[in-house]
Structure 1
């Protein structure tokens, strides 16, 4: 349809389109999967902006939402709705710099898959979902990204800034989703985003972790479906969600 709004989905670090594969936010909306492999947040934001023409709706998880903050700074007139999931709006702290440096060094030594399997993957899930199968899903997805793009993503993370001050200028429907067992991005990070964006909606998902789009896709889909209807009700046909 000519007036169909694209929903641009921006993945987290070491993630690809598979991150969103289990979501069904609306059957009548066109999704665009943006890649983020530039070595800077600015470069990643330009990748997102180049992924589609004209106005769009933006949803990002973790690093994807951090890139989304930069997109909102660069081209707020193009973003008609913004959804941030499992993210951190603040500038990095010393412990993060140390962790990223260690992962970059070990990756250069040829330990990429070990870093993913032993250091990164266990932090992605709530305890009930932290199974061997899920860990291997993360490793398989990271393998598709590869060590070179991982290094670029680490460089980009290290240069990010505190986005909270600029979020007050956001003027579109915003949905902020946190998970109560997210080991990386606790609820207070998401509260800071929601407090900064006037009229935004903050939702916390119970019994889920960082990759909540895999753990509870039905719940995320339900939230996103209602949010999308608020974004552009005249351009998205209303359909009732089948999710409980």
Structure 2
């Protein structure tokens, strides 16, 4: 949520074509169809937070299309009542105020020098797409069945200082994945590709290799 392709721009160069799929529909299912229509044939799918939640739905709908899957800083459980209340409140609030309110939870260090990068992405996303993302979050369902039904390699990555998606969320994902691996980054927060681009890039590179086997 509130991120664009700049989230991944510091990663080292990856082999093959990289496609940044738009996720702007107001449902998780609609977003999954956007991902599936962004490329032809099989692909490796990597998503962070909402992007990974959409990825779970892609696995449910078309697991045969996904060579390998990377889930970063995310949650495969169904929305909690407090989350639904927060999304409703955010949808009715001033956009700039919501972005400022969200900012401290994005990084391990509240005064991170990366704050401006997040604010720039949020500004480009804008309130209209943000409201669609909030609406989509409300359509989430528990995704553990989709994860369990996928037989490809799964790389799960999180920071141990993520205030939004703690390590336990990711341990649960790996528990349901037949070929899952978990990597926990010490001292890292939620937006891992900005905080630890070299590590994230290396792990995605290894995931690509696993997907080719």
Q: What displacement does 1:166 show?
A: 2.5
The secondary structure found in structure 1 opposite 2:157 is strand
> Over aligned residue pairs, what C-alpha RMSD do you find?
1.2
Give 1:132 deviation, angstroms. Answer: 5.9
Over 3 Å counting, the alpha-carbon distance change for 1:84 and 1:19 in structure 2 is: same
Hey, what's the Cα distance between the residues in 2 that align with 1:125 and 1:180?
Answer: 11
Question: Partner of 1:90 in structure 2?
Answer: 77
Q: 1:57 aligns with which of 44, 61, 64?
A: 44
Q: Give 1:164 deviation, angstroms.
A: 1.1
Higher relative contact order (CA 8 A, sep 6+): 2
Corresponding residue number in structure 1 for 2:33: 46
Aligned to 2:122: 142
Corresponding residue of 1:228: 208
Pick aligned residue for 2:6 from 13, 18, 24: 18
Number of residues of Structure 1 aligned to a counterpart in Structure 2: 213
Moved over 6 A (4+): none
Query: Are 2:96 and 1:113 equivalent residues in the alignment?
Result: yes
Output the CA distance in 2 between the equivalents of 1:48 and 1:114. 30
Does structure 2 conserve the Cα–Cα contact (< 8 Å) formed by 1:104 and 1:151? Answer: yes
Alignment of 1:122-137 (within 5 A): 122-127=104-109, 130-131=110-111, 133-137=113-117
On the 8 A contact 1:84/1:177 being kept in 2, the answer is: yes
Among candidates 169, 174, 195, match of residue 149 of structure 2: 169
Counterparts of 1:113 and 1:132 in 2: how far apart (Å)? Answer: 19
Match of 2:164 in 1: 184
| Bigger radius of gyration among the two | 1
Tell me, in whole angstroms, the C-alpha distance in 2 between the residues paired with 1:98 and 1:136: 28
Which residue of 49, 57, 64 maps to 1:70?
Answer: 57
Q: Could you list the runs of 5+ residues in structure 2 that have no partner in the other structure?
A: none
CA distance in 2, matches of 1:206, 1:194: 18
Between stretches 192-201 and 130-139, larger displacement belongs to 130-139
Gaps of 5+ in 1: 1-12, 234-244
